[in-house]
Amino acid sequence: MTDGEFRDLYLGLLRDCLTGLVYDDPPLDWSGVGLRPFDRHAREIGMDWPCRAHSMIGAARMLQLQRAVEHVLDRDVAGDFIETGAWRGGACILMRAVLKVHGVTDRRVWVADSFRGLPPPTPERYPVDRGDHLHTIRALAVSLDAVRANFARYGLLDEQVVFLEGWFRDTLPAAPIARLAILRLDGDMYESTMDALTALYDRVSEGGFVIVDDYGAYPRCRAAIEDFRATRRIIERMHDIDGSGVFWQRGVA
């Protein structure tokens, strides 16, 4: 077996572990309290909340993220990787693993999250979020210690992983990040999506990826993306991943 085949085997198994596909992890109900029967198709497209698995983005978005990281490594697109809205850390764990198997030591994975759930709406800043209730769902609040422990379970907690704790409006504008090759947005709300884009988009390198987890699932997230792209006159084509996630590459039609 070649080194490349070993890498593919490891990363494939890691993706299935992170999403719970390898052990048919049942999903939480939408209140975040009870359980529902495992549905493999729903898990593949990231349309449930796993009970124990470390990511809810699903198999398709996991594979797209891996390929995006490998793409920027192959083409030497400058910059670090960040996810804004990490939940249990699964997507960031995958990004760190891809760096590890390719022997990359000069890039960091930034894990940006409040580590206490989503913010209450601030309709005076973003009227679109009025009435949003995601901040009331306790299952969406995962502590920093728990996320660090998840990285450690995979042997991937080291100095190349940097945690940014707090609301995005407070942490991202001054984050010491010069360039980004991957900007992955998973904030669900208009505020969380817009604050991350406003603070970080100009740091995305030409050829870098902007990945939006909830474009097709949460209308408030979609509105933020469309408003930002219109204001900034972004014309790069958005590519669908699985009906919810989308991505575009900066400077690539």
Each residue of 214-237: pLDDT tens digit? 999 999 999 999 999 999 999 999
Question: 196-235 b/e with 16+ CB inside 10 Å = b?
Answer: bbbbbbebbbebbbbbbbbbbebebbbbbbebbbeeeeee
Q: Give the range of the structural domain holding residue 99, as residue numbers without chain letter.
A: 61-249
Residue 111 pLDDT level (bands cut at 50, 70, 90)? very high
H helices within 2-119, ranges in order?
3-19, 40-44, 58-74, 90-101
Residue 90 pLDDT level (bands cut at 50, 70, 90)? very high
Average pLDDT over residues 27-32: 84
Task: Answer yes or no: is pLDDT of 31 > 80.
Answer: no
126 lies in some domain: yes
Judge whether 31 and 137 are in contact, CB under 8 Å.
Answer: yes
Task: Answer yes or no: is pLDDT of 146 > 90.
Answer: yes
The residue type of 102 is: H
Residues 212 and 125: their CA atoms lie apart, in Å, by: 22
Residues 226 and 218: their CA atoms lie apart, in Å, by: 13
46 lies in some domain: no
Which residues are CB-neighbours of 162 under 8 A, at least 6 positions away? 108, 109, 110, 111
- pLDDT by residue (tens digit) across 63-78? 999 999 999 999 999 9
Average pLDDT over residues 19-29: 95
User: Helix 3-19 and helix 90-101: axis angle, to 10°?
Assistant: 170
Total structural domains within the chain: 1
215 lies in some domain: yes
User: What size, in residues, is the chain?
Assistant: 253
Cα-Cα end-to-end distance for the chain: 37
101 lies in some domain: yes
39 lies in some domain: no
Give the residues across from 110 on adjacent strands: 82, 162
Q: What pLDDT does 245 receive?
A: 98
pTM metric for this prediction: 0.97
Task: Answer yes or no: is pLDDT of 81 > 90.
Answer: yes
Q: What is the CATH number of the domain that holds 92?
A: 3.40.50.150
3-class SS at 91? helix
Judge whether 29 and 137 are in contact, CB under 8 Å.
Answer: no
Q: What pLDDT does 16 receive?
A: 98
27 lies in some domain: no
Which residues are CB-neighbours of 186 under 8 A, at least 6 positions away? 57, 83, 84, 85, 86, 87, 91, 213, 214
Poorest-confidence range of 10-19, 27-36, 110-119, 178-187?
A: 27-36
Q: What pLDDT does 34 receive?
A: 86
Residues 85 and 118: their CA atoms lie apart, in Å, by: 9
Mean pLDDT of the chain: 96
Task: Answer yes or no: is pLDDT of 189 > 90.
Answer: yes
